[in-house]
Amino acid sequence: MADTSAALARLLRPQSVAIVGASPKPLSLGGNILANFKAFAYDGALHLVSRSQTEIDGIACVPSIDDLPEGIDLVALIVPSEAIADSLRACARRKVRGAIVFSAGFAETGEAGRAMQEEIVGIAEAANMALLGPNCLGFANFLLGVPATFEPLPVSERPTKGAAIVTQSGAMAGNLRIGLLARHVPVAMSVSTGNEAVTSSEEILDVLVDDPAVTQLVVCVEQIKKPRLFLDAARRAMALGKPLLLMHPGKSARSMEAALTHTGAVAGDHAVMECFAREHGVILAEGFDEMFDLAAIVARYPQAQVSGVGIMSNSGAVRGFTLDFCHALGLDLPRLAPETIQALAAVLPDFATLDNPLDITAQGMKQPSLFGDTTAALLDDPSIDAVVVAVVGGSPAQIMNKWNTLRPVMSKSEKPVVYIVVGDEHPMPDEFLEDIAASGVPFMRSPERALRAFRRLADRRSTTPAPLAVHPIGEADVVALSECTGKALLAANGLDVPAGRVVNSAQAAAEAAETLGYPVVAKAQSGALPHKSDAGGVALNLGSPQSVSQAYGRIIASVYGYAPEVALEGVLIERQSGPAGAELIVAARRDPLWGGVLVVGMGGIWAEVMGDMRMMPAGVDVARIEEEIRALKGAALLTGARGMPALDIAAAAGVVSRLGHILAEDDRIAGIEINPLALYPEGVGILDVLMTVRAAPAEKLETTA
């Protein structure tokens, strides 16, 4: 594919524009886009193409694209879908740098539309032409006054900097823009990418992230088509101090098929996207409210790193609710430092409870200065990174009294602060609304919204892992290996596996057990039996030659009864490990789009029923993997709960890290799941392995003997 980055940069900042299909008719698409350009007083060269008009509003028209001058930066095509291909061929003849296709009726409509879309892709790529759409709303560059959209836009003073909106949906671009403006967040650029036939959202981000006038990036897409480009843009945004907010629907959609493993179903496409995005500093919004709230907060505090939050209110009920709500969110409310308690005690009445959340009691009605004094004390606490002030407002005079004492404190705070006046849609005094907007302090009407936003900021990463080159493998190209073959590959890659031997007779099984030492386990071996126990292919706690021989016979009969066509490699006789303190499922899998993914989860019922798993990109360090293991719901079982010994989490993290490197070092391997990984006070044990590999090279892999 041709590199159109330079053409795309010119498309978004055009010095010359042509509108094909311009019209004098009000409210027509061609009329709307022309009206936008005139209203915004576009100061570049503006050309009009119309078959029926010789001039519109004093601007001369030419009858065809072939009559335009060469090298125009942007051509806006207001023509039917069936005429787009010929129009683009004409653009190519005139060496047009970029075009917008507004028309629908392409890949979103079925096979015929998909064929039309592929045709225009070929034309644009052959001409090295940037192409936005089809089926899009276009874009608006408010910095330069380029309203290349048929959406009627209100004219306002050009911003000098602001947020850049990138979304596939045209309606979403408009909704996000008006929502941000309502939260006093200036908008520098708004781009709708539509079907993304040629130019993707990631390529738009790649251009915009380096623009010094872009202060934050607000993104809503249904699919990230070029993950590496997206992550590179996210990494650069982080380095430049530009927050990248992402809303990405699709959590409830069917995950990628990965039926062979427990972890595969959890590591679906949306979950994988989330873990990579979060690890690269992207702030994930779970809906419109969160997107607007986060944008308002990071517009004022772009470098916000939130861990512990302080809450102040003049209501005991608000205090109780926020305690419960933060517990459910997993948002830390630190205990107040001694010096903070001392500062609060100096101004609050004796009956006030000096804690976080802080209720200043009804004393604030008599002494409004308490609102500012107590907020200042919370902001000075070294364990508090952000403060939410959630008050019951009262009369207009009371609202202004509270704000007047809070304004000097909140407006100069370098730590993130959000001011809440509870009461839903109860109107606020105009004087207050104007003043808080001028102060830049984010204002909301419920503490939940501020606390959810701070929870998302608490998830924000400030560093990114070193990427591991893990090449994709299609799901259909994968086959499973037997446990013994998988363990042999792990051993060859530096991991300890239990001593064992594959046998093909009852006598050989008994002899192997005598050599290994009792107790032993016996397990049927075949890549076609990913879940051996379902077929009766496992026997545990075998303590004598006779029990081993009998178990061998039972296993063979049971497996062939369950799956007569299965090709058994034999039965693995393995020294049985001692009872574990706990068990984990750990895995590394090769995602077709994003690369290597690591998964850790509590074993047994925790994985099957509770879904207690955590995910991260391959390449994160061992300390990061330990952090994720300790974040499991059942992590208390690993850390010494109720008198149990603490288990070797560091050793488990080391195994998980190694699995990621195995994927990077051996392109044959698609996925590795160790289930279970037994944890002991010292060390771990790899008890069972399910490994999948590329179908073709699988025949060349040697089995253990």
Are 99 and 215 contained in the same domain?
no
Residue 115, helix vs strand vs coil: helix
Determine the distance from the C-alpha atom of residue 348 to the mean position of all C-alpha atoms in its chain, rounded to a whole number: 43
- Look up residue 458 and give its amino acid: A
Residue 517 sits in a domain whose CATH number is: 3.30.1490.20
In the predicted model, is pLDDT for residue 700 greater than 70? no
Q: CA–CA distance from 97 to each of 15, 106, 202, 217, 491 (Å)? A: 11, 22, 19, 25, 56
Are 430 and 532 contained in the same domain?
no
**Integer Cα distance of 253 and 230 in angstroms:** 22
Check residue 265 and give its pLDDT: 41
Are 209 and 319 contained in the same domain?
no
Give mean pLDDT, residues 501-518.
97
- Tokens of residue 10, six digits: 């010119």
Question: What is the DSSP code string of 480-533?
Answer: EPPHHHHHHHHHHTT-----EEEESSHHHHHHHHHHH-SSEEEEEE-TT-SSGG
Q: How confident is the model at residue 608 (pLDDT cuts 50, 70, 90)?
A: low
Is 154 within the bounds of a domain?
no
Are 119 and 31 contained in the same domain?
yes
Is 557 within the bounds of a domain?
yes
Residue 427, helix vs strand vs coil: coil
| In the block, residue with structure tokens 């039996």 | 529
Summarize pLDDT for 221-278 with one digit per residue, the tens.
988 999 999 999 999 999 999 999 999 987 764 433 333 444 444 445 788 999 999 9
Check residue 705 and give its pLDDT: 34
Is 148 within the bounds of a domain?
no
Are 6 and 94 contained in the same domain?
yes
Residue 603 sits in a domain whose CATH number is: 3.30.470.20
| In the block, residue with structure tokens 């010095």 | 15
Residue 344, helix vs strand vs coil: helix
**Integer Cα distance of 99 and 383 in angstroms:** 52
H or E segment and range at residue 439 = helix 430-439
Show which of 99, 133, 167 is a domain's final residue. 133
Give mean pLDDT, residues 538-552.
97
Are 551 and 607 contained in the same domain?
no
Q: Are 244 and 291 in contact (CB under 8 A)?
A: no
Q: In what order do the strands lie in the sheet with 538-542?
A: 500-503, 570-575, 520-525, 538-542
Is 700 within the bounds of a domain?
no
Residue 248 sits in a domain whose CATH number is: 3.40.50.261
- Look up residue 22 and give its amino acid: A
Are 565 and 663 contained in the same domain?
no
What pTM does this model have?
0.90
Summarize pLDDT for 53-96 with one digit per residue, the tens.
999 999 999 999 999 999 999 999 999 999 999 999 999 999 99
Q: How many domains does the chain have?
A: 5
H or E segment and range at residue 167 = strand 162-167
Are 175 and 235 contained in the same domain?
yes
Is 468 within the bounds of a domain?
no
Summarize pLDDT for 553-597 with one digit per residue, the tens.
999 999 999 999 999 999 999 999 989 999 999 999 998 888 899
**Integer Cα distance of 418 and 400 in angstroms:** 16
**Summary mean pLDDT of the chain:** 92
Domain that holds residue 643: 582-694
Are 58 and 178 contained in the same domain?
no
Is 198 within the bounds of a domain?
yes
Residue 256, judged by CB atoms within 10 A of its CB (0-12, 13-18, 19+), counts as: middle
Torsion angle of alpha carbons 328, 381, 243, 274, nearest 10°? -30
Are 10 and 60 contained in the same domain?
yes
**Integer Cα distance of 72 and 77 in angstroms:** 13
Check residue 125 and give its pLDDT: 96
573, 535, 576, 533: which is closest to 557 by C-alpha?
535
Are 217 and 235 contained in the same domain?
yes
Summarize pLDDT for 469-503 with one digit per residue, the tens.
787 776 667 899 999 999 999 999 999 999 999 99
* DSSP category for residue 466: P
Q: Are 598 and 656 in contact (CB under 8 A)?
A: yes
Are 288 and 330 contained in the same domain?
no
Is 398 within the bounds of a domain?
yes
Is 467 within the bounds of a domain?
no
